[in-house]
Amino acid sequence: MAGRGRPVGTITRGTTNPNRLRRCDRWIAGPQAWRLRRSPTPPVVVDLGYGASPITAVELHDRLRRVRPDVQVVGVEIDPERVAAGRPLERDGLTFRLGGFEVPLDGGARPTVVRAFNVLRQYPEDEVPAAWALVQQRLAPGGLLVDGTCDEIGRRAAWVAVDASGPVSLTISLRMGGLDRPSDVAERLPKSLIHRNVPGEPVHDFLMDLDRAWARSSPQSSWGARQRFIAMVSDVRERWPLLDGPPRWRLGELTVDWSAVAPLLR
């Protein structure tokens, strides 16, 4: 972590691709859209650590404008060259600036949402709480940090939603076509959970239960992968505190209360 007066964090590999974060964007513009709509002033959404290409910030701006036309998206990067690469794409409601987990914004503005994808996965697990805490301090009232990871083209994604009080949920989003088993997302779990996917940890139990329910739901494949996925989630909801319903399940997405999958204290 950098010292005072410098961006807080370290430069990531920066790999990214167009449309890679569409699953998370769809969630922010869907179940979380109320956070944007209720803001009395133009809400600020930060794409933190967007990487070598500014494309994910551009896409986020385009998608969220459908929810709140006056949204202000700020791409924040710790690498000056990446910030410079984004500047030519600036337009009304989209800017780029140098920074890290301290989330520096003009005029003391506080972000309604901070999306940090494929950033903390490159950090040691024990540095995650401090990074979360820095962002939490910067959030607007009712704001949210979305700490997530996905594969190279966005077919598998998982993210933790963190508000001012701490983590509140884990969301898993999968491309249903060609899905072997839900636990395939394990290698894309956020850093706070990826090393906890071992027997005896709640997140491991959750993924294994999804796999068993997926197997039991195989007869639904005759009607397509979507119907099989819905049947799987309908099965596990009897045992796990899910926070969403069929409209999200049809997208290959499910959200579970953090308390059910949080790492065990040691």
Which pTM value belongs to this model? Answer: 0.94
Q: What is the pLDDT of residues 39-67, one digit of tens each?
A: 999 999 999 999 989 999 999 999 999 99
Output the pLDDT for position 10: 77
Q: What are the residue ranges of CATH 3.40.50.150 in the chain?
A: 1-164
Contact between 136 and 129 under an 8 Å Cβ cutoff? The reply is: no
* Phi, psi values for residue 152, rounded to 5°: -65, -30
* Phi, psi values for residue 37, rounded to 5°: -65, -30
Calculate the alpha carbon distances from 208 to 23, 53, 202 in Å: 23, 36, 10
Q: Which of 52-56, 69-73, 120-124 ranks highest by mean pLDDT?
A: 69-73
Contact between 114 and 135 under an 8 Å Cβ cutoff? The reply is: yes
Contact between 121 and 131 under an 8 Å Cβ cutoff? The reply is: no
- Alpha carbon distance 252, 53 (integer Å): 27
- Alpha carbon distance 214, 84 (integer Å): 46
Topology (CATH) of 1-164: Rossmann fold (3.40.50)
